Every structure is written in C-alpha cells, then in structure tokens.
Amino acid sequence: MNVDPGIESVLHELAPQVLGMLVRRHRQFDACEDAVQEALLAAALQWAEEGVPDNPRSWLVTVASRRLIDEWRSESARQRREETAAALEPDEPAPTFDQDDTLTLLFLCCHPALTAPSQLALTLRAVGGLTTAEIASAFLVPETTMAQRISRAKQRIRSTGTGFELPPESERAERLRVVLQVLYLIFNEGYTTSAGPSLHRSDLTAEAIRLVRLLRELMPGEGEVAGLLALMLLTDARREARTTTDGSLVPLAEQDRDRWDAAKIEEGVAIVTATLGTAPVGPYQLQAAITAVHDEAPSTEKTDWPQILALYEVLERVSPGPVVTLNRAVALAMVHGPRAGLELLGELDKDERMAQNHRLESVRAHLLELAGDPDAARQSFRRAAGMTASLPEQHYLASRAARLE
C-alpha cells in the first residue's frame, strides 16, 4: 500500500508513543502492539481521504483502544478484562499523556531475554512501525517466519513478567549498550545488505538514523548515543557514491567524493566535535571520529592515515574485537606498508569468528595486491567472492580477481 509521505512520517513518529501509552495502561505488549498496528493501517487509509486530524496521537490512541476492547469483548473467558476495558468509555477521546514512553519501549524491545534477531525484528515492528512483510523482506526471510519470530519475542517478554518501566539504574548502562547495538545492526544491514541483489537498503538506514535521533532527544547527555548518530550520518553520507548506475560496488578509494552528502558530513563532524571530551569515550564516538577523518579528506592519498591508525589503536583498547583489528590492519598498511598490515591479518586467521567472514579475505587480497603479489591476491579475491551472499560484493570481488589474471 502506498502511503502519502507526510502521513507516513507522522505515523512513524507517533507509533512508538501510542504503543507506549497503551502498554503502560494495559500491561499486555502483544495485544497492544497488534491493536496499534491496526490503528496505523486505519489511519493510513482514512487520513488519505479525510486529512490528518487535529490531534493525530489521540485519534490513534482512541482507535487502538477500541480495537483492544473489541478483542477482549469477543473472548468470553476474559470477562474481568472486558469490564476493565469497558470503563475506558471508548466513545470519548482517549486521554493523552505528556510522558513519552518511547525510551521505555526501546529498552523493552531490546530485553536481554531475547535473541539478537528477535530484538532487531521487535524494534523495527514496535518502535520503527515497519510491517512484518517489510521486516521479512529486509532480512530475506519468509513473512511467516518473521511473524513467528515477532510472536515468540512478545511471548518471551510476557513470560519474563517484565513491567513496562525503565530498567533499574544498575542495569541501565548495559541495557543501553544493547539498544545501541540493535540500532547499529539495523543500520549496517541497510548500508551493506548481507545477501541479495542490492548493496544497500536505504529504508533501513533511514529508519536507524531516525530512531537514533529520537534516542538522542530522549537521552541528550549520553555520549555514545551522540557518537552512534554521528557515525551513521558520516557513513551514510557516502551512500550515493558507493555504487555505479548499474548497481556495481565502488570502493572508498575510487568514489567520487563530490557525490558525498556534505550536509550529513557537516552535521556528523559537528556532533563528534561537540561530544568528544564531554563524556566518557566509547567505541561509537571513536568510530565516528575515524569516519570523520575519512570524510574530510579530499582523497585517499591525502587522508590522515597516522591519525586513523592512532584512533584504531585506542578503539582496540576500548572495545577489542576482530573487526577492529581488521580495520587497524588497513590503517597500519597505509602508514607502515602492506607487509605490516598482512602480518597483523595473520593473527586473525586463528580467530574462529572470522573463519567465514569474506572481509578478512578481501582485505588480505587488497594488501597482497599493494605488496606486489598479484597471484596470491587473485586467489584471495576469488575466495572472498565465494564467501559472501551479497551479489554486488560477489561481482566486485570476482572482477578484481579477473583484473589480476
């Protein structure tokens, strides 16, 4: 169904607020979420013909509440709930609340009892307002599979007995880390899809940026929230230059930097500049700083690689991991030569987390080519092409191998 962009924007903004209101009042996440989805669909149809009402949030709350009441009245085994719901007086406009429950909703969707795929799906459905079909399409699974995943996630939350409230202060830092990780995963899946014919899904990257903006409004003092927003903006700024007109991948070194989004770069750099030094430094702030150095450089050759290498060394101390080491190897190669980078890559060969990661093999191929070993580089490019399910990446890596024959 095609929805007017203006109406769609309003619905995206209000969906988590309305769901938060209903869950706070009724304590039944799954039933409330279903009711809100029906209200959003009704709004998309009715507002297109009659216009957006003066108080769209109250309209959605009223319609969703009526859906809940209708559902409960149809179940004879729930007489007590029916009596409670009837007291809401559905013919009257639903009360509005000044409190915005979106942050609580985000924490609930990223509950530690859920698996990472379930956290992703539930966040996109409940907070992002995406349909089950849209989420299934983004992650290349059947709609029925995604529906079951979302249903199980809601059941899991209900079984934990978790109330609709922010986690206690002692748990909040760890839960925020999970929320940020989920939003980052949504962005990454949109920026470089894990499989399929397209390199990116701009709807997912836009949704991730929107949600992080919202989170920053709710938690303005959190440095890592600001860092993640800056990282997304600075990364997404290059999106238009990442592919040719036929969808082929263009590596960073070969991109037309005039096609980068200057406004996003300016905003991202401003956020990084304003945040660093004012809050505890975390991995998202450091990654944003690294990306800012790349985005502000006029070319790959004029990039401040020593600064990038220094930032990666700090990042590896703050948040060690194989992907950080992989990226540090590239920076090390640009500062001290490709052989130094290849030596560092050798340490990752023993890491089981990288065994099936095509990026390790593609970086190795790139550094082997720089080191003047075309035969070994060609073999690595071929291995990397066989390890990714992304068609644009397959084609790019295969073409690099062919070029070295």
- In tens, the pLDDT along 40-94 reads 888 888 898 888 998 999 999 999 888 888 877 776 545 555 555 555 544 444 4
Q: Is the pLDDT of residue 96 over 50?
A: no
The answer to whether residues 390 and 196 touch, using CB atoms and an 8 Å cutoff, is yes
Burial annotation 356-366 (CB, 10 A radius, 16+ → b, else e) = ebbbbbbbbbb
What is the SS3 assignment for 46?
Answer: helix
pLDDT at 401: 96
The answer to whether residues 197 and 134 touch, using CB atoms and an 8 Å cutoff, is no
* Highest mean pLDDT pick, 32-36, 129-133, 319-323: 319-323
Q: Is the pLDDT of residue 336 over 60?
A: yes
Distance of CA 281 to the CA centre of its chain: 21
pLDDT at 255: 95
Considering the entire predicted model, what is its pTM?
0.80
The answer to whether residues 17 and 4 touch, using CB atoms and an 8 Å cutoff, is no
Domain boundaries defined on the chain: 5-86, 297-405
Long-range contacts of the stretch 349-356 (C-beta < 8 A, 24+): 351/322, 353/322, 354/322, 354/326, 356/387
Residue 366, both tokens = 């790139």
More confident call, 93 vs 308: 308
Which is the CATH superfamily of the domain at 297-405?
A: Tetratricopeptide repeat domain (1.25.40.10)
pLDDT at 288: 97
